[in-house]
């Protein structure tokens, strides 16, 4: 077990660090302090997530490769929220919606080093960011921490902690694009995926929630493993506008491994468990093409699959969904675990 760091460049005259967590076996994770972003996840020598080579690409791009998303992941409709009778106008960075915390979200902030721990069975890194009152329009200051832990069993754990000074919606997730092929010139549509979910949330043309529906008899039934492409019928009214999957699935509870992603090309399997009730399945349908990745490959549509474990999207504005308001002084906590193995 070991951790090391190095310079990754400078942003706004501040140094950006790259931290490397290595379990000395099969798993190595690289994280940069801009956006507390996962830059690379190497399993058995193969990188399994999309990322950029240089800092400028992360600053200039809105792909959210590997980024920590907050204060609220996903879309908030009409770019406003109402808390205790007071309206707050939010940053509108996707039409009239606030997406992933707005123009000034957590993904573009410099996260400060807090601590690192090297143990016999695991190594961890803790970073923090204090979000000021009314940043992107959200009420209250929020003190945020994230803890990344890599252990001897080839598992990455991500823990999120946040405490607001005023009642505020909080939903934090990670936006890694997984590609387990060992070759980023190939898309992920032949990856097999299992999501233990009886229900998903239908979306309107702005990708905002409409209603909860059953997956049975629809392209959204991933209760048994199947290739992502198998039922991805782009003539389906829920897939036509988004050019594929970009939908929330309501996870069945309890389940030790509710999400399983596999590449049969490499035999690499990723099992995800989470404290969160929802996972957003996004297949990089609208990923900008032609961007240069870490090893010189160019971005293409369907190049990575995001499995964003989080709270219900737009919950604060949708009466049919439970809201995500964290009371002043209370602590938000979320944990997602990513276990890599060879089948």
DSSP string, 265-320: TTTEEEEEEESSSEEEEE--TTPPTT-B-TTSPBP-TT--BEEEEESPTTGGG-TT
Mean pLDDT of the chain: 97
Q: What's the pLDDT at 5? A: 98
Q: Is residue 106 classed as helix, strand or coil in its secondary structure?
A: helix
> Which of helix, strand or coil describes residue 238?
coil
pLDDT tens digits for range 36-73: 999 999 999 999 999 999 999 999 999 999 999 999 99
Distances (CA, A) of 4 to 40, 116, 263: 14, 10, 30
- pLDDT above 90 for 151: yes
Task: Classify the phi-psi angles of 296: left when phi > 0, otherwise alpha if psi is within -120 to 50, otherwise beta.
Answer: left
Is there a catalytic annotation at residue 15? no
Residue located via tokens 């694009």 = 177
Return the bridge partners of 2, or none: 22
Q: pLDDT band for 328, please (50, 70, 90 cuts).
A: very high
What pLDDT score does 101 carry?
Answer: 97
Q: What angle do CA 313, 64, 275 make, to 5 degrees?
A: 45
**C-beta separation of 160 from 144 below 8 A:** yes
Question: pLDDT digit string (tens) for 178-215?
Answer: 999 999 999 999 999 999 999 999 999 999 999 999 99
Residue 264 bears catalytic tag? no
pLDDT (0 to 100) of residue 254: 77
In the predicted structure, residue 129 carries a pLDDT above the cut 90: yes
- Can you give the pLDDT at residue 198? 98
pLDDT of residue 256: 84
Give me the catalytic one of 175, 191, 247, 276: 175
pLDDT at 255: 78
pLDDT in tens, 251-305: 998 778 899 999 999 999 999 999 999 999 999 999 999 999 999 999 999 999 9
- For the cut 90, the answer to whether the pLDDT of residue 118 exceeds it is yes
Q: How far apart are CA 182 and CA 17, in angstroms?
A: 26
């Amino acid at each position: 077990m070991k951790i090391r760091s190095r310079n990754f460049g400078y942003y706004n005259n501040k140094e950006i660090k790259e931290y490397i967590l290595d379990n000395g076996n099969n798993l190595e994770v690289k994280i940069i302090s801009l956006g507390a972003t996962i830059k690379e996840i190497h399993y058995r020598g193969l990188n399994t997530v999309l990322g950029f080579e240089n800092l400028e690409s992360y600053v200039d791009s809105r792909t959210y490769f590997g980024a920590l998303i907050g204060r609220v992941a996903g879309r908030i409709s009409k770019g406003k929220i109402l808390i205790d009778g007071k309206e707050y106008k939010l940053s509108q960075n996707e039409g009239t919606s606030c997406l992933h915390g707005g123009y000034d979200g957590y993904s573009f902030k410099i996260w400060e080093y807090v601590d690192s721990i090297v143990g016999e069975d695991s190594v961890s890194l803790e970073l923090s960011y204090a979000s000021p009152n009314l940043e992107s329009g959200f009420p209250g200051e929020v003190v945020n921490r994230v803890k990344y832990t890599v252990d001897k069993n080839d598992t990455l754990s991500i823990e999120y902690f946040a405490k607001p000074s005023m009642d505020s919606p909080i939903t934090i997730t990670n936006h890694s694009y997984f590609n387990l092929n060992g070759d980023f010139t190939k898309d992920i549509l032949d990856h097999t995926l299992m999501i233990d979910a009886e229900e998903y949330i239908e979306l309107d043309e702005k990708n905002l929630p409409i209603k909860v529906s059953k997956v049975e008899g629809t392209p959204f039934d991933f209760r048994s493993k199947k290739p992502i492409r198998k039922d991805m019928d782009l003539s389906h009214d829920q897939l036509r506008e988004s050019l594929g999957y970009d939908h929330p699935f309501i996870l069945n509870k309890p389940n030790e491994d509710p999400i399983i992603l596999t590449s049969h090309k490499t035999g690499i399997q990723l099992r995800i468990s989470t404290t969160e009730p929802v996972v957003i399945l996004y297949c990089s349908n609208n990923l900008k093409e032609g961007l240069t990745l870490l090893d010189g490959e160019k971005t293409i549509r369907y190049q990575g699959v995001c499995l964003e474990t989080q709270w219900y999207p737009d919950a604060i504005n949708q009466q049919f969904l439970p809201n995500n308001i964290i009371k002043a002084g209370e602590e938000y906590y979320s944990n997602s675990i990513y276990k890599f193995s060879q089948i």
